[in-house]
Homo-oligomer: A and B are copies of this chain.
Amino acid sequence: MKTVTSLPELRVARSQLPEPVGFVPTMGYLHAGHISLVQQARDECASVVVSIFINPTQFGPNEDLANYPRDLPHDLALLEEAGADLAFMPTPQVMYPPGFQTWISVEQVTQGLEGAMRPGHFRGVTTVVTKLFNAVEPQKAYFGQKDAQQAAVIQRMAKDLDFPIEIVVCPTRREVDGLAMSSRNSYLTPTERQAATVLFRALSAAKAAYEKGERNAEALRQVVRAVIRTEPLAKLQYVSCADLDTLVELESVHGRVLLSLAVFMGKTRLIDNIILG
């Protein structure tokens, strides 16, 4: 696997890769969820490019940019093993040089959920993903369903801006006890880690209610709230039952629906979701 840190190096290395090129953008501290994206890209494309960049513009002023976990040697070993061809690891100065002043905004689909809780987050995500798309020029790009709103926003953006790139959304990978894999799980104390299974238990309870025929969206949200309340360490920030594409909150469930939530476990903020229908 080749590694590059500058845009000119990337362009040269990219031009030598056989197409189609699959691209997996990451913030590093890779886990089996990221690696499953790389593997799917490996299966579907002639070449695989991965970026590792902790993007400062998608963190709010009171968020965890400074403490975001990193382990570059381990990341590179995992990518090598998974068969990636090229890793792009730019510095913030490469991505945001002095004078930088251009931003991508996706409007409606960024308004709720994470967008409401994290103002400016998606502007940072869409801007860096646009830059990475233009830098890497992939034919396919892979995102995890774990960040469901991000996936919806990127799909909307790619369509609206006519990017010649297929957006592939891959299933959430979970620990054996159901916790969705996330680099931020490393923040959890052992007690919090155990308690964190409540997110998936809450979603699963709502799914069971759905499968028994419950179609009232608020009733499904109430199932989630009730399960989260059973865990004293968990503080629910939001629960949403929304259209999978537009993320508009629903009254009754029909078609493909995103059931999602954000929960604080101590100081650590976790998100998770499942798709119904």
A residues within 8 Å of B by Cβ?
Answer: 7, 11, 99-109, 126-127, 130-131, 134-135, 137, 156-157, 160-164, 246
Contacts and interface: CB of A to CB of B under 8 A. Distances in A.
Contacts of A106: 101-102
A130 B161 contact: yes
A109 B131 CA distance: 19
B104 A103 contact: yes
A29 to B, nearest CB: 24
A7 B108 contact: no
5 contacts: A100-B160, A102-B156, A103-B104, A131-B160, A131-B162
A73 to B, nearest CB: 27
Nearest to A165: B134
Contacts of A108: 101
Contact of A135 (B100, B134, B162): B162
Contact of A134 (B99, B109, B163, B246): B163
A185 to B, nearest CB: 32
Nearest to A100: B160
B160 A102 contact: yes
Contacts of A127: 161
Q: Which of A130, A137, A156 has the most CB of B within 10 A?
A: A130
Nearest to A14: B164
Contact of A11 (B102, B103, B109, B164): B164
A104 B102 contact: yes
Q: Which has the most chain B C-beta neighbours within 10 Å: A134, A162, A164?
A: A162
